């Protein structure tokens, strides 16, 4: 319940924020993850993500923002070094914290079309810690291949 309260407070404080977007694009790579072009923090429905789906990233509430970002990068790094992943990152900086939304497609998992991870960091810019996180996915096959979901893909 505290986590939900924190998220709601963060959203209320950030009603008029801007996003900085970093996109990588490689010809012949899979389609860009479907993160909205003009993503605004107030448009993100944090309840549509699952903390349970993020368990494989091994994130822990309270760890430093750098440790959490490193875990995220290592988790999504291709094992063989040959696979090209399509990624998009949106970061929302605030005086009391920040929110990062990271989308990726082109994963080696043939059941998952795309994944999107959010991480909320609390504290001043030089000492932020992970306060909340979650993942949602799009599946390659099954009855739902167009909508984001929080259930594992078939």
State residue 33's pLDDT score. Answer: 52
3-state SS of the chain? Answer: CHHHHHHHHHHHHCCCCCCEEEECCCCCCCCCCCCCCCCCHHHCCHHHCECHHHHHHCCCCCCEHHHHHHHHHHHHCCCCCCCCCEEEEEEEEECCEEEEEEEEECCCCCCEEEEEEEEEEECCHHHCEEEEEEEEEEECCCCCCCCCECCCCC
Q: Going residue by residue through the chain, which has 154 residues, state the pLDDT in tens, using 9 for 90 and above.
A: 444 444 444 443 343 344 444 444 444 555 555 544 556 788 888 999 999 999 989 999 999 999 999 999 888 886 666 677 888 999 999 889 999 999 998 887 889 999 999 999 999 988 999 999 999 999 999 898 899 999 988 8
- Global confidence as pTM: 0.72
């Amino acid at each position: 319940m505290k986590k939900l309260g924190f998220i709601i407070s963060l959203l209320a404080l950030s009603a008029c924020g801007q996003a900085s977007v970093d996109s990588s694009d490689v010809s012949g790579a899979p389609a860009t993850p479907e993160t909205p072009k003009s993503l605004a923090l107030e448009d993100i429905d944090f309840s549509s993500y699952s903390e349970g789906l993020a368990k494989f990233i091994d994130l822990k509430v309270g760890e430093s923002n750098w440790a959490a970002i490193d875990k995220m990068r290592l988790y999504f790094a291709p094992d063989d070094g040959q696979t090209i992943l399509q990624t998009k990152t949106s970061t929302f900086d605030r005086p009391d914290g920040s929110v990062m939304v990271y989308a990726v497609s082109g994963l080696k998992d043939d059941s998952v079309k795309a994944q999107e991870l959010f991480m909320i960091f609390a504290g001043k810019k030089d000492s932020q810690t992970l306060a909340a996180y979650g993942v949602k996915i799009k599946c390659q096959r099954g009855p739902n291949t167009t909508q984001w979901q929080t259930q594992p893909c078939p």
